[in-house]
Chains A and B, each alone.
Chain A
């Protein structure tokens, strides 16, 4: 099988290797993830919640919700 350089050869963890049966789905999944993460990083909340080293101040009520 020949591939373009940008084709997905495998998932980053190596669990799934691209085959003719799954390569289109893996390619679509990588593109979907890239779009999702790009949108996520653009958010104001993302920028506000990114800590400087040593500056984290967790809200105890927030962690309490995890029960």
Chain B
């Protein structure tokens, strides 16, 4: 196996079928990269080395014997550490759950393993998927493989880092206010927040019952679709094509007001999105601008629901173990104690109102496009910029409305940091989202490049 070969799920899976590579070789490569890279990236909280090697040996034999279970058979995956895997601790990156060994795997993990995928380990998160990046916890936050001085995005921080650094081809994250799409954008990978309710939350630590979603994170679009198909029991994967597919007749609505009027995106981010739209237009898509309610209204509504629900989850433990939580979690969750029931209920009503409105907008289009984040990721030591970026994004509208939303890379900034855009579809129409993303990926493969440390490894 040459460096740079068999990196994506479909490449690895095809290699298994042809016999060019085996699950044991792929797992060994993942473990080797974890050993080389992760001491400086902190993506993994736990590496299931012995389990993965044993499962890979079993998969070798099964695939050789013609008993291949699915496209994911023998594909390693890792989990944001709020998702249970039987026999391993689910710590939520918190002191509170240091010894919380799961008795049963989450429903989404059971689906991946039933399809033959191989559990490789647990990944860093912001504490309970909301605090952080926190430096007052026993385990430090994950670092961005494009530049370790920069933020990873969160809260599925380890998931973004592990996939970007090619330490694992598939990771699961969770998205409540953009926590799959944010690290996907910041780390230069593909992150899907599917339609809310499509993937079971059984066995996933709750943050906000009205907003939480599990989503796959991968280095490419097809791998993401393959993972979602297994996780959700649906079929979104598009037939493999050797040439860039046409988008003739496809209608794309661009919500520029989010990143040009309501908030102003960094010029490089704006230019990256425009360049990607140019590519989609050249492929035949009909692109027109569409209006929406102000971004701040979505964000405030989302925040009222999120903090009220998160406080209700944590208030008992906050009473008994206040000091064991990170300061950043307390700052983000405690306001929920002061939200009145009538305001919470009004926010839930507004959530339905916005969902109806977004449905009406989508009646006129196949997909929508807007920014994911408004800036490349800030440096960890720029506290004020990091804090400001916490609210500078266009993810909240679709967390609120439950529409499928995919973050895909659109290039790299002059400073070598990833740029991204967001593609949004109708409820349960992930297929159209993937169709547009795949066409863009095939037409502009440099946008999906690996970070320098992986490219350096390839020599």
Which of A29, A43, A65 lies in contact with B427, CB distance below 8 A?
Answer: A65
Q: How far is the CA of A38 from the CA of B323 in the complex (A)?
A: 30
Q: How far is the CA of A24 from the CA of B88 in the complex (A)?
A: 37
Tell me if A16 and B300 are in contact (CB < 8 A).
no
Tell me if A61 and B337 are in contact (CB < 8 A).
no
Q: Does B359 contact A (CB under 8 A)?
A: yes
Closest to B312 in A: A13
- Contact flag A49-B353 (CB < 8 Å), given A29-B338, A30-B338, A43-B301: yes
Q: Does B343 contact A (CB under 8 A)?
A: yes
Tell me if B338 and A67 are in contact (CB < 8 A).
no
- Contact flag A40-B402 (CB < 8 Å), given A16-B337, A33-B307, A34-B338: no
Q: How far is the CA of A66 from the CA of B322 in the complex (A)?
A: 32
B96: chain A residues at CB < 8 Å are none
Q: Does B115 contact A (CB under 8 A)?
A: no
- Contact flag A48-B322 (CB < 8 Å), given A36-B303, A61-B359, A65-B195: no
Closest to A65 in B: B402
B402: chain A residues at CB < 8 Å are 65-67
Within B250-305, which residues are at the interface with A (CB < 8 Å)?
Answer: 293-294, 296-297, 300-301, 303-304
- Contact flag A15-B319 (CB < 8 Å), given A29-B338, A30-B338, A65-B427: yes
Tell me if A21 and B403 are in contact (CB < 8 A).
no
Closest to A45 in B: B297
Query: B398 → chain A, closest Cβ, in Å?
Result: 10
Q: Does B247 contact A (CB under 8 A)?
A: no
Q: Does B350 contact A (CB under 8 A)?
A: yes
Q: How far is the CA of A32 from the CA of B319 in the complex (A)?
A: 20
Q: Does B139 contact A (CB under 8 A)?
A: no
Tell me if A63 and B352 are in contact (CB < 8 A).
yes
Closest to A63 in B: B352
Closest to A43 in B: B297
Closest to A8 in B: B338
Tell me if B356 and A28 are in contact (CB < 8 A).
no
Closest to A59 in B: B356
Tell me if A22 and B338 are in contact (CB < 8 A).
no
Closest to B336 in A: A33
Q: Does B316 contact A (CB under 8 A)?
A: yes
Closest to A49 in B: B353
Closest to B354 in A: A45
Tell me if B427 and A61 are in contact (CB < 8 A).
yes
Which of A33, A59, A65 lies in contact with B335, CB distance below 8 A?
Answer: A33
Within A26-59, which residues are at the interface with B (CB < 8 Å)?
Answer: 26, 28-30, 32-34, 36-37, 39-41, 43-46, 48-51, 58-59
Q: Does B19 contact A (CB under 8 A)?
A: no
Tell me if A49 and B346 are in contact (CB < 8 A).
yes
Closest to B209 in A: A66
Which of A13, A25, A39 lies in contact with B331, CB distance below 8 A?
Answer: A25
Q: Does A1 contact B (CB under 8 A)?
A: no
A15: chain B residues at CB < 8 Å are 315-316, 318-319, 337
Q: How far is the CA of A62 from the CA of B293 in the complex (A)?
A: 17
Tell me if A62 and B318 are in contact (CB < 8 A).
no
Query: B311 → chain A, closest Cβ, in Å?
Result: 8
Q: Does A20 contact B (CB under 8 A)?
A: no
Q: Does B330 contact A (CB under 8 A)?
A: yes
Q: How far is the CA of A8 from the CA of B198 in the complex (A)?
A: 41
Tell me if B293 and A44 are in contact (CB < 8 A).
yes
Instruction: Given A16-B322, A51-B349, output 8 extra A-B contacts at Cβ < 8 Å.
Output: A29-B334, A36-B300, A36-B307, A40-B297, A43-B300, A44-B293, A49-B346, A61-B355
Chain A residues proximal to chain B, CB less than 8 Å: 11-13, 15-16, 21-22, 25-26, 28-30, 32-34, 36-37, 39-41, 43-46, 48-51, 58-59, 61-67
